[in-house]
Structure 1
Amino acid sequence: MAEGPKPIRVVDFSQVMAGPFCTRLMADIGAEVIKIEPTEGDAMRRRPPLRDGHSSYFGTLNAGKRSVVLDLRTEAGRQDALRLVETADVLVENFRPGVMARLGLDWDTLSARNPRLVYCAISGFGQTGTAASRPAYAPMIHATAGLDMALMSYQPGLERPAPTGMFYADILAGVYAWGAIQTALLARVHTGRGQMVDVALLDSLMSMMVYECQEAQFPQNRTRHVYTPVQAADGFIMVVPLSDKNFGGMLSLFGHPDWGTDPRFATAARREANWEDLMVHVEAWAADKPAETCERLLLEAGVPCARYREVAEVMADPATQERGVMGTVRDGAGAFQVPNPPFRMSATDARVRPDIPELGEGNADVLEPLKPKPDVAP
């Protein structure tokens, strides 16, 4: 039986979040991802949530990969890395710019040895320029990119930016890196050569602020319309009666109250301009009803509405399970659920692979075949 095409081989020097998120998406679509770790392992192996010493945080980012331990401070470790990269289609790293060059594993060196290599470097501020050497963690990027101040401007009464625990910059950069790698691999089909991909967390976050970048150049007379939560009896709902049809359905549900003829709410543009006043009336209706009841009644009336939920509720939702949003993986502490890739494909098995690598489990299988063979006397 003829063998199918070999999977794309990815050598992953990245750690923590942005790079590992990118390479997990590669593993999710069938790539062979070899995670290079120092002798102590990726720092994420020790980050909570922990179960019997195993991090499910690490597992989420690294399911489906092989782990190879290399001490890149040694000549032997660097030589193993060079031999491995010579067999690779893709390399991903997220060190501070200059680190890979000091190790002799930079783009110029490696592309000379493997011209088909797609080399993706993820950093805070890009590979060149005066800011390139600055340290970069996602919360710092959120601050320096203007995201936190933009979010603060949408929260009335705040006197300082809100604390953060969601690392948008890391995830967004990981997604952009994943997409750029696919583009580079497609280009290689036509040119026969790989290329360098430079992804910056700052650039990634700036690309998300579509309105804010334009408003910074062209300030408007009134502040941007924002959608606000509505308090129900036991929680919150998000209600968006923006179109005339939505608004009419809401008025019908509410019994056509007098404020329904208020000129401030007569058109979609006027409703946007007077959104807070409109939500006062919606909240008066919702105040004595459970949030789930509000959501059901409004949806039945044709009014876009969603109840605010905890993450655990979403994971347990039958609709979430029917869609296959979560997949099951396992490590030394047992099985748990992680998000699948957020896309489905008709001809590609796009899903999280179940096994999380133990530190160094792939050393023998991956490195031994690449070792120089001793000369054998005739």
Structure 2
Amino acid sequence: MMSVTPKPLEGIRVLDLTRIISGPYCTRLLADCGAEVFKIEPVGGEYMRVKEPMKVGKSTYFGHFNAGKKSVEIDFRSVNDLAAIRKLAATCDVVVENFRPGVVRDLGLDFATLASGRKDLVYCSISGFGQSGPRARHPAYAPILHALSGHDLAAMSYAEDVGKPFRTGIWYADLIGGLFAFSAIQTALIGQLRHGIGQYIDVALMDSMINLLVLEMQEAQTPSAFERWLATPVRAADGHVIAVPITGRIFERLADLTGHPEWKQDTRFNTQLEREKNWPALMALVEKWTSERSAADCEAAMMEAGIPCARYQTVSEAIHDEQVIARALMSDVGEGAGAFKVANLPFLLSGTPLAVGPRVPEPGEHTKDVLDLFRSSAGQDQNP
């Protein structure tokens, strides 16, 4: 039996000055990897604590991003509390913030202040547009960045009979920005450990979104000679499936499975280039076969034949999928009626389980233990 090694970031302390989604997601992943994360919240707790959906009076949305952390409440108007946070920061390896550019400087919690007298601090700022440039101080929620980055018009161009960009409720920009911050911090920590030098990290959600649009970015500069093929859903008897018979061998399997070996000689489909050019015609033929069968039967038959295929699942179905269960992706957070499931990190380490923390801290739960010593030495409280 393999012995369990310590989590990779055990011993790393993180001052978490973040809120909403991008920053808390980044710092939760750091906590999953073993870091001790001090989440600094305003008096009464962060706004997201009352964000639906709620379970037993507590936000599971907030809990998803903040499980496994230590909660410290402060009055951001208090000179004494801010001084205490600066002293706490001096004991931390990493600081993460996602305020609008300029706010942490006004609070005295910026990189220049916290790195004074030390050279090893890793400090990460996450913002909509980055810390410099003409848009730097513009407010930015995820949908704004989806629109400006080109993502939404690219997605619209792939849809059929759509006259305006789609509505969205999935905050890609926040999540991908949090992931890039997570990876940047660990890269900087390797440099800190190897060279003794910290880093100031500037993560922009706009930059993160543009990084997703790889082919679209290249197409914008050098358009393809013909319209590219697009992965296309086809109807099943009770829903939809998607199949990708793009290579020659997979296409031949598809022709045999559907009872149409003559497709192999069809000049529209007998090379990969021709299949790509005539993809809508191929999918129309495939749909005649899939529409007579259930989505589950289509998936099972095609996958058995070695043809990439999937039925469309709801999120509820996906988190209970046999593959998700087999990989133990979901962890329970909380207890009893208040328990809910959260996705673990999307990678496994051979010697170290990296499950999400088992509980969400109460507002200010760790304030006394963490800050009392620093508050007592921070000087007399003043409220500007």
* Shift in alpha-carbon separation, 1:195–1:332, aligned structure 2, 3 A: farther
Distance 1:371 1:39 in 2: 16
> Aligned to 2:349, which of 345, 350, 359?
345
Distance 1:200 1:242 in 2: 36
Residue 237 of structure 1 corresponds to which residue in structure 2? 241
Q: Deviations over 1:45-98 (max 9, x none)?
A: 111111122010001000100110111221012111111101111000000100
Which secondary structure does the structure 1 equivalent of 2:256 belong to?
helix
**Is 1:148 aligned with 2:148?**
no
Distance 2:303 2:79 in 1: 64
2:329 partner amino acid: V
Which secondary structure does the structure 1 equivalent of 2:203 belong to?
strand
Residue 45 of structure 1 corresponds to which residue in structure 2? 49
Q: Once structures 1 and 2 are overlaid, which stretch shifts more, 341-350 or 203-212?
A: 341-350
Shift of 1:372: 4.0
Shift of 1:296: 0.8
Within-5 A mapping of 1:3-42: 7-42=11-46
1:26 partner amino acid: L
Segments of 5+ residues of structure 2 without an aligned counterpart are 1-5, 379-384
1:264 partner amino acid: R
> Aligned to 2:66, which of 49, 62, 67?
62
Residue 202 of structure 1 corresponds to which residue in structure 2? 206
2:17 partner amino acid: F
Equivalent pair of 1:54/1:333 in contact (CA under 8 Å): no
Within-5 A mapping of 1:327-342: 327-330=331-334, 334-342=338-346
Distance 1:161 1:82 in 2: 45
Within-5 A mapping of 1:259-298: 259-298=263-302
Residue 315 of structure 2 corresponds to which residue in structure 1? 311
Equivalent pair of 2:255/2:262 in contact (CA under 8 Å): no
Distance 1:161 1:320 in 2: 32
Which secondary structure does the structure 1 equivalent of 2:115 belong to?
helix
Shift of 1:6: 6.0
Q: Deviations over 1:310-341 (max 9, x none)?
A: 11111122321110110111169521110001
2:77 partner amino acid: R
> Aligned to 2:133, which of 117, 129, 135?
129
2:32 partner amino acid: D
> Aligned to 2:196, which of 168, 171, 192?
192
Residue 107 of structure 1 corresponds to which residue in structure 2? 111
Equivalent pair of 2:10/2:33 in contact (CA under 8 Å): no
Distance 2:101 2:335 in 1: 33
Segments of 5+ residues of structure 1 without an aligned counterpart are none
Residue 183 of structure 1 corresponds to which residue in structure 2? 187
1:121 partner amino acid: S
Q: Deviations over 1:161-210 (max 9, x none)?
A: 00011111111110110111001111011222211000000000111110
Which secondary structure does the structure 2 equivalent of 1:67 belong to?
strand
Which secondary structure does the structure 2 equivalent of 1:223 belong to?
coil
Equivalent pair of 2:228/2:276 in contact (CA under 8 Å): no
With normalisation by structure 1, the TM-score equals 0.95
Shift of 1:244: 1.1
1:45 partner amino acid: R
Equivalent pair of 1:233/1:286 in contact (CA under 8 Å): yes
Distance 2:152 2:281 in 1: 26
1:291 partner amino acid: A
Distance 1:122 1:221 in 2: 39
1:370 partner amino acid: F
Equivalent pair of 1:239/1:306 in contact (CA under 8 Å): yes
Shift of 1:223: 2.5
Say which structure, 1 or 2, has more relative contact order (CA 8 Å, 6+ apart).
2
Within-5 A mapping of 1:355-370: 355-370=359-374
* Shift in alpha-carbon separation, 1:219–1:319, aligned structure 2, 3 A: closer
With normalisation by structure 2, the TM-score equals 0.93
Identity %: 47
Shift of 1:299: 1.2
2:26 partner amino acid: C
Which secondary structure does the structure 2 equivalent of 1:68 belong to?
strand
1:149 partner amino acid: L
Distance 2:203 2:285 in 1: 46
Equivalent pair of 1:13/1:93 in contact (CA under 8 Å): yes
* Shift in alpha-carbon separation, 1:76–1:333, aligned structure 2, 3 A: farther
Q: Once structures 1 and 2 are overlaid, which stretch shifts more, 214-223 or 176-185?
A: 214-223
Q: Once structures 1 and 2 are overlaid, which stretch shifts more, 11-20 or 32-41?
A: 32-41
Which secondary structure does the structure 1 equivalent of 2:43 belong to?
coil
Equivalent pair of 1:241/1:247 in contact (CA under 8 Å): yes
Residue 166 of structure 1 corresponds to which residue in structure 2? 170
Distance 2:26 2:310 in 1: 30
| Count of aligned pairs between the two proteins | 371
Which secondary structure does the structure 2 equivalent of 1:119 belong to?
strand
Which secondary structure does the structure 2 equivalent of 1:296 belong to?
helix
Distance 1:6 1:281 in 2: 55
